[in-house]
Amino acid sequence: MKVAKFGGTSLANAEQLRKVCRLIQADSKRRIIVVSAPGKRYKDDMKVTDMLIAYGQHREEGRNGEELLGLIVDRYANIARDLGLDQSQIVRITDAIEQIRILEPDENLRWRDALKAVGEDTSARLFAELLNNNGVQAAYVNPMDAGLLVEGTCGDARILPGTMDILAKLSNREERLVIPGFFGYTPEGRIVTFSRGGSDITGAIIAAAVGAEVYENFTDVDSVLSVNPSIIPDAAPIRELTYREMRELSYAGFTVYHEEALLPAFRAGIPVWIRNTNNPAAEGTRIVAERPSSDGVVAGIASAGGFCSIYVTKYLMNREIGFGRRLLQILEENRIPYEHTPTGIDNMSIIVRESVLGEGTLERVIQRIKQELDVDDIRVVHRLALIMVVGEGMLSSVGAAARAAQSLAEAGINIQMINQGCSEVSLMFGIREEDEKRAVAHLYEAFFREAKVAISR
């Protein structure tokens, strides 16, 4: 059995849905289909999830949002009409969307998750109808009925223990199952969504639960590329990656596959195959437990901005028992998750995401560090980008760090921080955000283009 997930780009309009339908017809092993909400049809288009979020904002501000709701309903009605669904089918689908009128904003803003979920839910209902119209026996399955039980705050669902055993029963069903991605239910029946892009997570959880032979993740690129294509449009394709390589790359900007969608597949040993709905003949990228070490030192280079560094110095820090714990405890008590903590003999940096720092939080943290830890100096560097150079080959090769540092030096880029992951499959550089794209381009030259020339000589 295969589990196939189709992203928003694969469901953006009727033509895309027809392609997906043909892919399901072409392979009887594709028994469980996880779908996203319709994505962008062209560059400046709006994803349905973003339209639903905007609708929620309108309602929270006391506006009625009817115009936006109309656009969302039209988006699905047009797709359904273009697909030749009959009037009663179209009404069933649009009626379900209009139910969001009865949702009321609540204090905890939990209603936002119920709103967002409507995008994937409607896609699943629509696609199940399309399959049945095309002679493929299919059923829409709501995540509650499937048993996808979660806990957690809005937009940060975590699956509950025992869920996998319940989901495993899906494999007994005869017909194809179409399941909306992106959300689950708490045992009390409340909808909680995963973080953005989270349909990948639903697909991975279900693939792991039913023990699928493969988890096919259909998107709009022929493969994962060694660098984000918005930086290097002709970046080399990657045929195979290990779970841990992909984990490091998706952490820092490879949005093609959600970072939280690796763990379920990894634990269950399910290979993930990233493929193109628009070109299913392309090889795609397989994410597996091991790959041949002969395939180059570096597999990919990822980058992400939006970090800041809190740099603390104190003479004889290395001798002070409990210093690091007390420093991190101040962050914990201010509910700040930290990303990295590079250290020296008398200094320690804590890298955090700017997005987790609420109004005045950083000032409070700095004040407490000064008061409680008697430090010599404390500095904050904002607008940092992290660059990850990732590859299993770095385990067994010498000089990757030197080569990377040299290429950044040649580009005149000041390295603020270097960290070699304990896993040794990644090298991380902290640089100023404004240098991010140039840094990636230079590293790409050093590890891909120059390396290729050297080999072919």
Ligand X SMILES: N[C@@H](CC(=O)OP(=O)(O)O)C(=O)O
Ligand Y SMILES: Nc1ncnc2c1ncn2[C@@H]1O[C@H](COP(=O)(O)OP(=O)(O)O)[C@@H](O)[C@H]1O
Q: Give the interface with ligand Y as residue ranges (CB under 6 A).
A: 7-10, 36, 39, 197, 219-221, 224-225, 228-229, 254-256
Which letter, b or e, does each residue of 27-55 get, where b requires 16 or more Cβ atoms within 10 Å of its Cβ?
eeebbbbbbbbbbeeeeeebbbbbbbbeb
52: nearest Cα among 159, 217, 152, 196: 196
CB of 198 to ligand X, least distance (A): 5
- The nearer residue to ligand Y, 229 or 399, going by C-beta atoms, is 229
Across-strand partners of 227? 301
Determine if residue 285 is labeled as part of a ligand binding site: no
Binding to ligand X by residue 47, rule CB under 6 A? Answer: yes
Determine if residue 5 is labeled as part of a ligand binding site: yes
- The nearer residue to ligand Y, 109 or 282, going by C-beta atoms, is 282
Binding to ligand X by residue 393, rule CB under 6 A? Answer: no
Determine if residue 7 is labeled as part of a ligand binding site: yes
Residue 220 binding result from ligand X, ligand Y, none, given CB thresholds of 5 to 8 Å by partner type: ligand Y
CB of 47 to ligand X, least distance (A): 5
Query: Which range, of 36-44, 137-145, 246-254, 280-288, touches ligand X by CB under 6 A?
Result: 36-44
Residue 37 binding result from ligand X, ligand Y, none, given CB thresholds of 5 to 8 Å by partner type: ligand X
Determine if residue 8 is labeled as part of a ligand binding site: yes
Determine if residue 220 is labeled as part of a ligand binding site: yes
- The number of residues that bind ligand X (CB under 6 A) is 15
- The nearer residue to ligand Y, 304 or 431, going by C-beta atoms, is 304
SS3 label, residue 83: coil
SS3 label, residue 213: coil
Residue 47 binding result from ligand Y, ligand X, none, given CB thresholds of 5 to 8 Å by partner type: ligand X
Residue nearest to ligand X (CB): 8
CB of 35 to ligand Y, least distance (A): 10
Helix, strand, coil percentages for the chain (3-state, nearest 5): 45, 20, 35
CB of 296 to ligand Y, least distance (A): 15
How far, rounded to the nearest angstrom, does the alpha carbon of residue 43 sit from its chain's CA centroid?
20
CB of 181 to ligand X, least distance (A): 6
CB of 200 to ligand Y, least distance (A): 7
**Contact pattern for ligand X over residues 114 through 143, marking x by CB under 6 A:** -----x------------------------
Q: Give Cβ neighbours of residue 430 (< 8 Å, ≥ 6 apart).
A: 307, 309, 351, 384, 385, 386, 387, 415, 416, 417, 418, 419
- The nearer residue to ligand X, 193 or 416, going by C-beta atoms, is 193
Written as six digits, the tokens of 329 are 């405890």
Asked whether 29 and 1 are in contact (CB, 8 A), the reply is: yes
- The nearer residue to ligand Y, 219 or 416, going by C-beta atoms, is 219
Residue 221 binding result from ligand X, ligand Y, none, given CB thresholds of 5 to 8 Å by partner type: ligand Y
DSSP character string of 234-257: TPPEESEEEHHHHHHHHHTT-TTS
139: nearest Cα among 118, 149, 125: 125
Determine if residue 313 is labeled as part of a ligand binding site: no
Distance between CA atoms of 92 and 75, rounded to whole angstroms? 15
Residues 152-211 that bind ligand X (CB under 6 A): 181-182, 196-200
209: nearest Cα among 247, 161, 144, 156: 161
CB of 51 to ligand Y, least distance (A): 15
Helix axes 66-82, 48-60, angle to 10 degrees: 160
DSSP character string of 136-194: --EEE--HHHHT-BEESSTT--EEPTTHHHHHGGGGG-SSEEEEE-SEEE-TTS-EEE-
Residue 276 binding result from ligand X, ligand Y, none, given CB thresholds of 5 to 8 Å by partner type: none
Residues 239-298 that bind ligand X (CB under 6 A): none
Determine if residue 322 is labeled as part of a ligand binding site: no
Determine if residue 6 is labeled as part of a ligand binding site: yes
Residue 74: C-alpha distances to residues 6, 70, 218, 261 (Å): 21, 6, 25, 31
SS3 label, residue 416: coil
Sole binder of ligand X in the list 16, 21, 24, 49 (CB under 6 A) = 49
Distance between CA atoms of 172 and 48, rounded to whole angstroms? 32
Residues flagged as binding site? 5-8, 49, 120, 219-220
Report the interface residues with ligand X, using CB under 6 A: 7-8, 36-37, 39, 47, 49, 119, 181-182, 196-200
Residues flagged as binding site for ATP? 5-8, 219-220
Residues flagged as binding site for substrate? 49, 120
